[in-house]
Homo-oligomer: A and B are copies of this chain.
Amino acid sequence: MSFHPNHMLTLSTDFGTADGYVGAMKGRAYREDPSLVVVDITHEIPPWDIRRAAFALWTALPCFPPGTVHIVVVDPGVGTDRRALVALVGDHAVIAPDNGIISLLFEGSSPVSVFALDSSSLAGSTLSKTFHGRDLFVPVGARIAAGVMALPGSLAPLRDPLCFPCGHARRGADVHGTVLCADHFGNLITTIPWDTLPAPAAVTVRVAGFPVSIIAETYGDAPPGSMVALQGSSGLLEISCVQASAQAKLNATPGSPVVVSGA
């Protein structure tokens, strides 16, 4: 398995956009190679929210051209002995701290292989204790994107990457999962892939104990204020309140139980 870079680099962080930190990462990438195409995915992941970062990566990654390098920096353990990794996910490469950010990718259809990334990959640079985005992830990612550093090259496999539980279990006739996160619109994204549901049109869904009885094809299928379950755009079961926030209405949080029962 080898990687053929396309000179494109994406950035996802929880840095917000009110400081110069994101700019510092971009500048550092262009300093490696000014001809790179550097693309913002998000810098508004809520601080330290690994699951939301995993969802953003899951949503955006498959849309990019093969050969794209994706850097994700949500890193509460920066500067400690937490590990860092490079994952090959089909034709894509992901660079991130080893803290669960890649968990969802194992649920997808692309093969995933994971390698350990350490600062020895960075001959000649200084590594701060607080900003590995700028000092480790971006320089390495930019060199990979530019084709200067081969992947996996000499990186050692990382056999036990940290993952949060995101699969779903079937118990009797029911499918059990959890709320993964809420998105910008307050839609509740669940860990349950839509295409694992037995007969979507005929199920009932309970989220944090609240029954959702309308199974919709899209948000506009029901009047404003209705609570509906539908197939989210990236293939996961999603609970939405039409033109309002399902999160606010149901008071559900990441980890809240989701149960899908057959008719």
| Residues 24 to 83 of chain A near chain B (Cβ within 8 Å) | 24-28, 30-31, 34, 37-48, 52, 55-65, 68, 76-80, 82
Interface size on A, residues (CB 8 A): 72
Are A34 and B8 in contact, CB atoms less than 8 angstroms apart?
Answer: yes
Partner pick for A65 among B6, B30, B58, B221, CB 8 A cutoff: B30
A60 CB to nearest chain B CB (Å): 3
* Residue of chain B at shortest CB distance from A77: B220
Q: A30-B8, A129-B231, A218-B130 are in contact. Are A16 and B63 (CB under 8 A)?
A: no
Q: A39-B26, A59-B23 are in contact. Are A76 and B243 (CB under 8 A)?
A: yes
Are A41 and B20 in contact, CB atoms less than 8 angstroms apart?
Answer: yes
Looking at A21, A47, A134, which has the most chain B CB atoms within 10 Å of its CB? A21
Which residues of chain B are within 8 angstroms of A64 by Cβ–Cβ distance? Answer: 23, 26-27, 30-31
Given contacts A16-B44, A128-B233, 12 further A-B contacts (CB under 8 A): A8-B30, A16-B185, A18-B183, A19-B183, A21-B184, A23-B40, A23-B41, A38-B39, A77-B220, A78-B218, A79-B217, A131-B233
